[in-house]
Structure 1
Amino acid sequence: MGEELRLLWNKNQRNIQSEKHLIVLSYYYLTALEKLEPESEILKIGIKNNFMRELSETELDSIELFLSNNFEIEDISQLLLDYLNMVDYTPQMMFTSSNESILSLASSYFDFTNNEFADFCSGNGAMLSKALKNKAKIIKGIEINELTHQLSILRLWLEHGTMLRDEIIRADIFEYFEKNPEEKFEQIFSEFPLNLRRKDKYIFEGIEINQNSDWGFISLIMNQLKERGRAVVISTVGIEMRKTDEKIREHFIREGYIEEVIALPAGILTGTGIPSFMLVLSHGNDSIRFTDASDVYSNAGRVRLLEEKDVEKIINSDNIKIDVPNEKVLKEGRLSPEFYLLPELKGGTKLEKIAVILNSRPLRKQEIDEYSAAENTGMQLIRLSHVKNGQILDGDFVNKIIPKLIELKNLDIIVTRIGSKLNVALYQEEEDIRSFVDENFFVIRVNNKDWNPYYLFAYFQSEMGQKYLSSTYSGATIQRVNKKDLLHIDIPYMTLTLQNKIAEKTKEYLEKINQLQLSLEIIQDEKDEVMSSWFKEV
C-alpha cells in the first residue's frame, strides 16, 4: 500500500523537492491528528515555523485538498513512514540515515533488552527504533540537524506510539557532553558525518586530537561508554595510518579499547562509495579481532547491501577473521583487517633485501611551469596521468634536468606513492630520452643480482602481488603508502632460472602490448586525418 501511495503522491507533487514531500506530509498528518493527539501541536508548530516558509498559503491549501480527497489519515501515516524509512535519499534531502544493511550488522553486537542505548548523530531515528522494538530500558538520541531531529521524533511516534521529545535531543554532541560529561551509556551506536571538521580540538585522556580526525568522534564515544559497555562506530579507513593520529591510535590499542575492526564493502554506506570500517569498542581487550568483510555483500541492481546471509557470514565465518594481540598490533601500527589476514609467504624475502626505494622531492607549481617545454627536448617528466594499466605513456617534456626528481634507470619499477588508484609499471629506457618521475611515485630499483626486475614486476602485476601490495596502502579516496611498509612486503622466492623464464614471458607480453599500442596510435592518426579531409571543402 505504501508504494502505491508514494507513486500517487509523486505523480501529483512532482514540482516539490523530496525533503518538502516529507515536510508537507508531516505537517498535514499532524494537523489531522491534532484533535486526537493534542501533544502533536508542538511538533507541528516547529515544522511549520522552521521548514514551510517557502510554501505559500495557496500551495498549502492545494496540497491539503489533494491529500484529504485521496487519503485517510491511516494512509497518510503509511505514506509518511514509507518516506521516513527510505534509504535512497536524493542529494537535495536535508537529513541522513544509516541504511538497513549497517543497522542489521551493528545491532547484532547489542543486547537491547532492559539496557540503556544511545545513538550519537541519530539521523532519522532508525537505530533508536530498533532499540525500542527490542525493549531497551532507556534510549537517547542526539542529532544536530533540526529537520532530521523533528522527523525522527515523528517517526518513532508513528512506529511506537510514543512522543520522545525529551529522549531525542537536538544538539552538537561535543557541546552536549561538555555540559553533561557524567551521562554515560551501556550501549552506543554512531554513524557520525565522515571527514567532518569540528570547531575545536578534542582532548581525550590527555591526548589532543585534530579537528578533522575521526578519532575525535571515536574518543568522545569511548568517553561516554560505561565500564562494561559496548559501542559500535562507523568510520573512514583513514583512521588506521594517518601520522597525525598516531598517538591516539596507539593509546586505544594499548589501553584495550578496541574489540573488533570490520572492513566493510566499499559502497555499502548511503551516499558515498568510500571504504569504511565498523569499530566495536569496549574496555579491557587484550587482543583485537580483525574481520575482512570487504567482499561480503549482495547486489540489488547497482546497489550493494548486506542481506541476512551476509550479516551471518560476517558474524560467524572464521575464515575472514583473525585475533591479533595488542602488542603485535602496536608493533605493526596498522588497523587494517586485510593487512593481518594475508597469509605469510613461506620462504619469502623482504623487498628491502633485494631492492632500494627512491622518491623525488615535491615540485611547486611555479617550478613545473618553469621547467615545462612544448617540444621534444629529450627529457620528460612522468606523472600519475602518464601511467595506465602497467604502461608508462609519453610524459611531459622538460627543458632541463630537475635536481629534485629521481631519474629513471632501465628496468626500474615505479609504484604509486599517493593517489586515487594503485598503479605499477616497468620502465624500459628509450634511445635519446631521459625520464624523471614526480613525488607521487616510489621508484623500486633492484640491486641484487639474484633477482630479475621483470620477475618482480610480474609478481606485482599478479593477483597475489596486488593483494600484498594493496595491503600496505591506506586512505579513503586518496591512498598512500610509506616506504617502511613497502620495504617490508614479502616477495616469493624462486630460483634465478625460474625467474628468468617468467621474465622472458613477461617481456614478450610487454612487447606485444607496445606493438599494439603503436598500431592503435597509427590507426587513430589515420582516422583523424581522413575525417578532417572530408570536411575541408565545407
Structure 2
Amino acid sequence: KYPESYDKIFSNYPFGLRGSDLDECRHELQDHFGLDSSYISRCSSDWLFNAIIIRSLKETGKAVAIMTNGAAFNKPDMYMRQYFAENGYIEAVINLPPALFIETAIPTTMIVFSHNNTTIRLVNAENSFSKESRRLNTLSEDNIRFILDCLKNGGDNTIDVSMADMREHDYNLMASHYLEKPVVENGVCFGDVIKNIARGSQVKPELLESIKSVMPSNYRFISLANVSNGSIDIEEGQQYITELPKALEKFVVPENSIVLSKMASSTFRSAVVNSDNDHSIIATGNLYIIEIDESKADPYYIQAFFDSIAGEAALSYASGGTAIKTISVEAVKSILIPLPPLEEQKVIAQKYQAALDEYAVLKRKMKKVLERKRTLLDSETNI
C-alpha cells in the first residue's frame, strides 16, 4: 500500500480534507512512525499526505508537494513539523503567491523533502508572480528562474534556518517569519512586565441582551468595536448593563489595564482602560485583558509602543493566520518591547496621553461639524 521505492515524487494533493475516512490513515502512520496519537489526531490532512510521501521515498530520493500556508505555521500541525524537521526530512520550503489555482485564491507553500537535512532553506516567493487575469496569478519563466536561483544560491528572499532556530519559533516554515523579524534594541519580553493576561468574556449574546440597559448604571461592557485609534469609544449607546452576573465578575478590567484584540482587522487594536470610579468595565468578545506591573512599565508607554509602527510590526510578527491574523496569549507574552527606565517611560506616556486628549477633542468637534452639515438644509429652509 505504501511502496518505498520512489526516487522522485510530486504531489498536489487536495486541501482541507476532514472526516472519519482519514482515521485509518492516521492509525497506520502513527504506528509506522511512532507518532504521538494526540498530535496526529489533530494535524491537518496536509501532513498526513506528507507522511505518506516520506514513507514512499527512497533514502536517496527527493519529493515535492504543495500544501496550504496554514500547515506551515499553525498550532495543530506544530508537532508534525517538529517531527519532520528534527528527523531531517525537510530540505526547503517555498512560500508561493496567492491565486495560483483556479479553485482557490489562498496562498500556498511548496515543500521539498529529502533525507538527512540539518538546516532548512526557506524562500519567500509570495510576490514573485505574473498577473494572468483579475483573479488568477501565474508563474512566468522569469518567476520560476528567480525561485530556482533562490533555492540554489540564496539571496535577500532566502534564509537557511537551523534546528535550534526552528525550536525557538514553533517550527514555523514561513520565510517571512524569519526575514521580517522586528529589531528591538535592548528589548525585553512583554511577559516580564505583565501581572496577568486573560481572554475577555465569551458571553452568550442572549445573556448580554437580557441585561442590557438604556439607563445609566454602574456597569458597562466593551467589545472589539469600541477599541479604535488607541482609545475606548463607548459614548454611542453607552452599553450599560443592569447588573453584573457572577459569570462576568472575573472579566472586569482592572484600572490602567490594556485591552488588545485577539484578531487583526488590518491591524491589531489596543487601548488603556481608564474609567472613572463610578463604573466597572467588562471586556467581551475577542479582547485580551492585560494587567501591567506598573513597578516595571507604564501602561500608556506600552500602549504608545503598540500604537507605533514598530509595535504594529511586533504584533504582526507574533501573530499567525493568513486571511485573518490572530495572536495567542503565549505569542503576546513573547513580544519584544523596548523598555527604557521607568522615568523615561512616564515622559513618553504623558505625551501619548496628551495626544489622546487632543484626539478626543477633535473627534467631538468633528461630530458636531458632521451633525451641523447633516441638518444644514433643515435649519436654513422650511423644507
Q: Go from structure 1 to structure 2 and tell me whether the alpha carbon gap of 1:259 and 1:347 turns closer, same or farther (over 3 Å shift).
A: same
Verify the 8 A CA contact 1:418 1:440 in the aligned structure 2.
yes
Verify the 8 A CA contact 1:260 1:279 in the aligned structure 2.
yes
Alpha-carbon shift at residue 267 of structure 1 (Å):
5.0
Alpha-carbon shift at residue 440 of structure 1 (Å):
1.6
Alpha-carbon shift at residue 383 of structure 1 (Å):
1.9
The code of the aligned residue for 1:488 comes to S
Q: Structure 2 unaligned segments of length 5 or more: list them.
A: none
Matches within 5 A, 1:464-503: 464-503=310-349
- Is 1:196 the counterpart of 2:6 in the alignment? no
- Is 1:381 the counterpart of 2:221 in the alignment? yes
2:244 alignment counterpart: 401
Deviations 1:500-522 (A, max 9, x none): 44334433432333223223333
1:323 alignment counterpart: 160
1:223 alignment counterpart: 55
Verify the 8 A CA contact 2:259 2:290 in the aligned structure 1.
yes
- In the alignment, the residues of structure 1 paired with residue 267 and residue 230 of structure 2 have an alpha-carbon distance, to the nearest angstrom, of 10
3-state secondary structure, aligned to 2:16 = coil
- In the alignment, the residues of structure 2 paired with residue 275 and residue 433 of structure 1 have an alpha-carbon distance, to the nearest angstrom, of 46
2:261 alignment counterpart: 416
Alpha-carbon shift at residue 447 of structure 1 (Å):
0.7
The code of the aligned residue for 1:332 comes to H
- In the alignment, the residues of structure 1 paired with residue 178 and residue 81 of structure 2 have an alpha-carbon distance, to the nearest angstrom, of 17
Alpha-carbon shift at residue 210 of structure 1 (Å):
4.6
2:353 alignment counterpart: 507
Alpha-carbon shift at residue 491 of structure 1 (Å):
1.0
Verify the 8 A CA contact 2:122 2:175 in the aligned structure 1.
yes
- In the alignment, the residues of structure 1 paired with residue 141 and residue 243 of structure 2 have an alpha-carbon distance, to the nearest angstrom, of 61
Alpha-carbon shift at residue 441 of structure 1 (Å):
1.7
Deviations 1:442-476 (A, max 9, x none): 22332143423233222222333222221221223
Deviations 1:31-81 (A, max 9, x none): xxxxxxxxxxxxxxxxxxxxxxxxxxxxxxxxxxxxxxxxxxxxxxxxxxx
- In the alignment, the residues of structure 2 paired with residue 502 and residue 527 of structure 1 have an alpha-carbon distance, to the nearest angstrom, of 37
2:177 alignment counterpart: 339
2:116 alignment counterpart: 284
Task: Let me know the Cα RMSD of the aligned residues.
Answer: 3.5
Higher mean displacement: 475-484 or 311-320: 311-320
The code of the aligned residue for 2:260 comes to V
3-state secondary structure, aligned to 1:481 = coil
2:64 alignment counterpart: 232
Matches within 5 A, 1:249-264: 249-264=81-96
Verify the 8 A CA contact 1:235 1:278 in the aligned structure 2.
yes
Alpha-carbon shift at residue 186 of structure 1 (Å):
3.0
1:123 alignment counterpart: none
1:50 alignment counterpart: none
3-state secondary structure, aligned to 1:288 = strand
Verify the 8 A CA contact 1:413 1:424 in the aligned structure 2.
no
The code of the aligned residue for 1:318 comes to G
- Is 1:350 the counterpart of 2:189 in the alignment? yes
3-state secondary structure, aligned to 2:77 = helix
Verify the 8 A CA contact 1:256 1:284 in the aligned structure 2.
yes
Verify the 8 A CA contact 1:291 1:322 in the aligned structure 2.
yes
Length, aligned pairs only:
358
Verify the 8 A CA contact 2:2 2:52 in the aligned structure 1.
no
Q: Go from structure 1 to structure 2 and tell me whether the alpha carbon gap of 1:283 and 1:435 turns closer, same or farther (over 3 Å shift).
A: same
3-state secondary structure, aligned to 1:427 = strand
- In the alignment, the residues of structure 2 paired with residue 211 and residue 330 of structure 1 have an alpha-carbon distance, to the nearest angstrom, of 18
- In the alignment, the residues of structure 1 paired with residue 327 and residue 349 of structure 2 have an alpha-carbon distance, to the nearest angstrom, of 27
Alpha-carbon shift at residue 533 of structure 1 (Å):
7.8
Verify the 8 A CA contact 2:222 2:281 in the aligned structure 1.
yes
Alpha-carbon shift at residue 349 of structure 1 (Å):
0.9
Alpha-carbon shift at residue 287 of structure 1 (Å):
2.1
Verify the 8 A CA contact 1:416 1:422 in the aligned structure 2.
no
2:271 alignment counterpart: 426
- If asked which structure has higher relative contact order (CA below 8 Å, sep 6+), I would say 2
- Is 1:245 the counterpart of 2:77 in the alignment? yes
Verify the 8 A CA contact 1:210 1:216 in the aligned structure 2.
no
Using the size of structure 2 for normalisation, the TM-score is 0.77
Q: Go from structure 1 to structure 2 and tell me whether the alpha carbon gap of 1:352 and 1:194 turns closer, same or farther (over 3 Å shift).
A: same
Q: Structure 1 unaligned segments of length 5 or more: list them.
A: 1-179
The code of the aligned residue for 1:236 comes to T
Verify the 8 A CA contact 1:474 1:480 in the aligned structure 2.
yes
The code of the aligned residue for 1:523 comes to V
- In the alignment, the residues of structure 2 paired with residue 534 and residue 194 of structure 1 have an alpha-carbon distance, to the nearest angstrom, of 62
Verify the 8 A CA contact 2:272 2:300 in the aligned structure 1.
no
The code of the aligned residue for 1:219 comes to A
3-state secondary structure, aligned to 1:338 = helix
- In the alignment, the residues of structure 2 paired with residue 266 and residue 509 of structure 1 have an alpha-carbon distance, to the nearest angstrom, of 39
